[in-house]
Structures are given as structure tokens and as C-alpha cells.
Structure 1
Amino acid sequence: MRTLLTAALILAAAPAFADSHAKDEHAAKPKAGPQSGTRLKAEIWVDNWFEMYVNGEKAMQDSVPITTERSFNSETAIIETQFPVTIAIKAKDFKENDTGLEYIGTDRQQMGDGGMIAQFRDARTGEVIGVTNRDMHCLVVQHAPVEASCADESDPQAGEGACDFEETTVDGDWTAPDFDDSAWPAAIEHQYSDVSPKDGYDDIDWDDSARFVWGQSLKQDNTLLCRMTLDG
């Protein structure tokens, strides 16, 4: 696990995104194109790092590198797009290697723990259009270690014994609107108290319907691909 400050995002081509502290009316006007028409306010918090795609185009990325000590932070952006909107998020918890551990070789050696929460609003009206919850699909693509006892080993080796790991590959463009995620499992909702620490979480006024999601294990599920559709 790792945390820092909310940082600015720069407005880019479609879909575009804006400085997390910029007021909506001051955001740069988007270029005309097939993605124009809707101003979406995206607010997201991930332990530790994420990148997000909107209708197959990269729209946001965590501004704090995952290798930063305690890199917990929220991000906000204004995105120009059109409905229906396909949101695709790669979320990662920090791990030093494929053992899934952090602080390896120190008295702090441990499994990290992840977590994600996001909400999407109409940037003009403030109306909540979508939130993270069990209705979205999340596929765990890196799970480690396979046994928690790996964290107690004096010389943990990725791929050996309790420190083995599981990886899943995905065929095709998983960020594309027409990608078939029907076989992916539903996201697992987690209690507020189970996700900790949450530095940066309070920088956003979360809607009551938004839920923390992850895989089944906050500690052993290290990289997830998640998808949801906003219909407006």
C-alpha cells in the first residue's frame, strides 16, 4: 500500500480530462468529434494506482506513481464523451514482485491491501450517473501470494511454494465498448472499515450509493480489470 496528494490532470483529446482543482466552467473546450456531447465528472480513489479508459480511450491516470511511499490519493477530472459510456479501469495494489509482498526483507514484510471507489456525475447538474458497486464486472489478473504464510518466509521467492502466484491474460481490447465481459465475475463490495488507510478519500464528497469494490481478497488480489456502462 502507498499515499499522497490529489494532483492535477491535463485536458487531452477525446475523451479529454481536466485539472482536478479546475472549476468546470474554466475547463478547456473539447475538440468537436464523435465523442463530444456529454461532460462527465469522474471522481475516483484507488489504493494504490489506476488508469481509466472511457469508450476505449485513455482518459485518466493516477498522478502519483505506484512506487511512491503510501501513494493514496483521489483524482477528479471532467471528461467530454457521449452516452452510452463504457468505463474501463485497471486498478493495482503495490507489490514489489510477483510474491505480492511489500517491504520484503524488512521487519515490515507483509501483503498489501487494495480497494477502489468511484462515482460519475453529470458535470453540469451534479446528478450522480454511476458508482462503483457489485453491478460492475471485475476480473483479477494477478493474485499473490497463493498462501498468506508467504509473508512469514525469510526469503520469499515468487512462484515457489506459498509464494506462488496466479496470472490471467485477456484476449482482445478489454477497454473497448464492444468487449464481451459477461463471463467476468461481479465486483465484490467491501465495508468502509475494511479498506484502510484511506488518505485522500475525504477530499471527495461521496454519494451514499458509492461502494468500495475489489476482488474477493483485499490482500491477495493485486491487479484488477473492471468495467461498467453508464447509460445517462
Structure 2
Amino acid sequence: MNKKLILFAMALLAVMAFACNKKQTTDGSANDTITTPITYTGTGSVTQGLGIKAINSLYNCSGGRVTSVGAITSSDGKIWTVPADVAFSNSPKLPDLYNECNGKTPASISAVDTTNVPVTVIDPDGVIVSGYIFCDNYFELYINGKLLGVDAVPYTPFNSCFVKFKARRPIKYAVKLVDWEENMGIGSENNGTDPLHPGDGGFIAKFSDGTQTGSAWKAQVFYIAPLADPNCITENGSARTSAGCNLPASASKAYALHWALPATWYSADYNFSSWPAATTYSNTVVGAKEPYTNFAPQFGAAQFIWSSNLVLDNLVLLRFTGN
């Protein structure tokens, strides 16, 4: 078994033992149980405080941030992987367009050889499609229900990808997005003097079949943090909105809400029609760096998208059916 998977399994056992003991702590130590009585009536599972780090780093890059994975127990006894359960360790990495970790920093598309990028066959009777992708921070791309590959850099430095695949039309796109965290279970990162910076996300893509990101895509959030009070989330149908939420004063007072991902969310026949429409964001709001700006002409009219809250929504699924 993969060493990282063994370590993660051990951490999950530790979390399960903690949940059984129900020990109360108030100092923000690992995997705080709920110390402040709350009445929550929404559909999510509530966690409070920091989780237990299970994997110190999925990936190492000079100058990059540590890409940790952890686990945390909610007040209803469920165990959640934070920031997300990802396929990074055992999945193909998507080809680089721009990647400082691999020494690839072209100033424009003229310095990139896209002709030698291999074509991944999803459907033998399909058409060949190419695409440009940039994500802050991490994504996994499914085509017609099959995993094409994962982002080559889970956290930082930022990178971008160029892909080629053969698939049957209409192409069913499914994307898992993760805004990574350094403080396990509370959706925050260390930013200068702010140890609880909530961070933000952003995803943009353009494909040669005419598909490009925009408000026609669907986006559903499954992990929202950090929150001063989980009751700030409003639910209307399938929409989970955190626009009126405040940030917590400390790690021990930070709440998070979690929802289980549908088992077949990425399948070609999954019905995502009830999901909210993706929200679009400007390049300025996302703060896109060279991995995107050096290739802005290739992305054309594609727009940055996410769920309704670019800052607090940390695990987001996207769906779209192309031409």
C-alpha cells in the first residue's frame, strides 16, 4: 500500500478514536469538538476547530506551499477529509502549459510546443479536442465520466495546463475544484501576519469544441469555511449561500460546514440540472498570475468561475455539457 495512504488511514483511526472519547478542548488544538452550544438546522455537517493532519505534503516544490491533507470529525459523528479527498497521488498529471516546479515558464504560447502533447483516448470513436486550463488552486478533470487527469501542482506556485483528448460528443465535462488550506479543517491559510487568511479560488478553461467557462456551467459547493457561525449559511433549494457570513476570531472558534459528494457526480449521465449556476469573476478579482496572463489570448472570452463565494467555498464541483 502507498505510504501516504497508510499514514492517512492511521490518522483517520485517530480521528475515530477521538470522536468516540468526545473529549472537550477549548484552545484550538487538533480536532476540537463543539465547545459552543449551537442549534443548527441546515443540511450540512458541522465541525469546529482544527483537524488532524494525516499527510504532511502531497507534493514538494521549491518555494511552494506545503500541500497537507487532514481529517476532522463533525458533531454528528462523521469523518471528513480536509480540504478534500483528492486523486492526486495515484492519477496522471495533466500536461504543463506553465509550471515553475518543472522549470517551464514560457512568456507566451509561441514558446510552447503543443504538438507533442499526447492525446488521451476517452472514447475511441470520438473527436480530438484540446484545451487550456488554469485553476487556483487545484482541479481534477473528468471527460464523459472518465478521469482525464489532475492538476500537476496542488497548491502553489500557480500553474496552468494544456490538454488533448479524444471523446464522443456531446462532451460531458466534470471538474472537482479545491481551494487548498494550511490550517486543516478551517479553510484558511497563512498570509503574512494573518494566520487565518481565508484565501480564494478561481477556474477558467477553453476547449476547441467551443466549450468555455462561464455562467452556463453549474457549480455546487460541498465545504464552506471558516465561519464564525454555521447558521449564517442560507439554503434555497440546492443553493448554499454564504454571502452574509463573518470570519471567526480564532481557530478554536472557527466552524465549517460539510456535505457528502454524490457518488456518481462525475458520470456522463448524472443529473446536475438542479445545481446552481456558476458565478463568474473578473481576472482582477481572482488575481490571476502569469500561468494565465501569459496566455490570455488562448483563453479568449472564457470567464473565471466558481460557486457563489470565491473566498469561503473551498470544495466545489462543476458540470457542463458541451456541443
Normalising by the residue count of structure 2, what TM-score does the alignment of the two structures yield? 0.56
- CA drift of 1:35 comes to 3.7
Listed as ranges, the gaps of 5+ residues in structure 2 are 1-60, 65-93, 98-111, 229-245
Contact 1:172 1:179 in 2 (8 A): no
- CA drift of 1:208 comes to 3.7
Partner of 1:93: 179
Residue from 158, 174, 184 that aligns with 1:72: 158
- CA drift of 1:71 comes to 2.9
Residue from 162, 167, 174 that aligns with 2:265: 174
In 2, the alpha carbon distance for the partners of 1:77 and 1:215 equals 24
Partner of 2:206: 119
- CA drift of 1:146 comes to 2.1
Q: Answer yes or no: is 1:102 the counterpart of 2:189.
A: yes
- CA drift of 1:47 comes to 0.3
Partner of 1:8: none
Q: Identity, % of aligned pairs?
A: 27
The root-mean-square deviation of aligned C-alpha atoms, in Å, is: 2.7
Partner of 1:223: 315
- Answer with 167-176 or 214-223: which moved more: 167-176
Contact 2:136 2:179 in 1 (8 A): yes
- CA drift of 1:29 comes to 6.4
Q: 1:168 to 1:47 in 2, by over 3 A?
A: same
Partner of 1:132: 213
Matching residue's letter, 1:72: F
Considering fraction of residues, name the structure with more helix: 2
In 2, the alpha carbon distance for the partners of 1:36 and 1:30 equals 13
Matching residue's letter, 1:173: T
Residue from 167, 178, 191 that aligns with 1:81: 167
- CA drift of 1:18 comes to 5.6
- Specify the SS of the correspondent of 2:140: strand
Contact 1:74 1:203 in 2 (8 A): no
Listed as ranges, the gaps of 5+ residues in structure 1 are 5-16, 123-128
Contact 2:120 2:164 in 1 (8 A): no
In 1, the alpha carbon distance for the partners of 2:120 and 2:157 equals 31
In 1, the alpha carbon distance for the partners of 2:118 and 2:311 equals 40
- Specify the SS of the correspondent of 2:261: coil
Normalising by the residue count of structure 1, what TM-score does the alignment of the two structures yield? 0.77
In 1, the alpha carbon distance for the partners of 2:315 and 2:139 equals 10
Alignment deviations for residues 3-45 of structure 1 (CA, whole Å, 9 cap, x no partner): 97xxxxxxxxxxxx76655433x455666x8443311112111
In 1, the alpha carbon distance for the partners of 2:129 and 2:207 equals 7
In 2, the alpha carbon distance for the partners of 1:88 and 1:226 equals 6
Matching residue's letter, 2:268: P
Contact 1:54 1:88 in 2 (8 A): yes
Residue from 121, 138, 141 that aligns with 1:49: 138
- Answer with 175-184 or 35-44: which moved more: 35-44
Residue from 52, 63, 67 that aligns with 2:152: 63
Matching residue's letter, 1:117: I
Matching residue's letter, 1:187: A
Matching residue's letter, 2:151: D
Q: 1:197 to 1:120 in 2, by over 3 A?
A: closer
Q: Structure 1 segments of 4 or more deviating over 6 A?
A: none
Q: 1:28 to 1:172 in 2, by over 3 A?
A: closer
Matching residue's letter, 1:87: Y
Contact 1:102 1:112 in 2 (8 A): yes
Matching residue's letter, 2:152: S
- CA drift of 1:215 comes to 1.4
Q: Answer yes or no: is 1:149 the counterpart of 2:235.
A: no
Compare CA radii of gyration and give the structure with the larger one: 2
Contact 2:201 2:310 in 1 (8 A): yes
Partner of 2:107: none
Q: How many residues align?
A: 201
- CA drift of 1:181 comes to 0.3
> Larger relative contact order (C-alpha < 8 A, sep ≥ 6)?
1
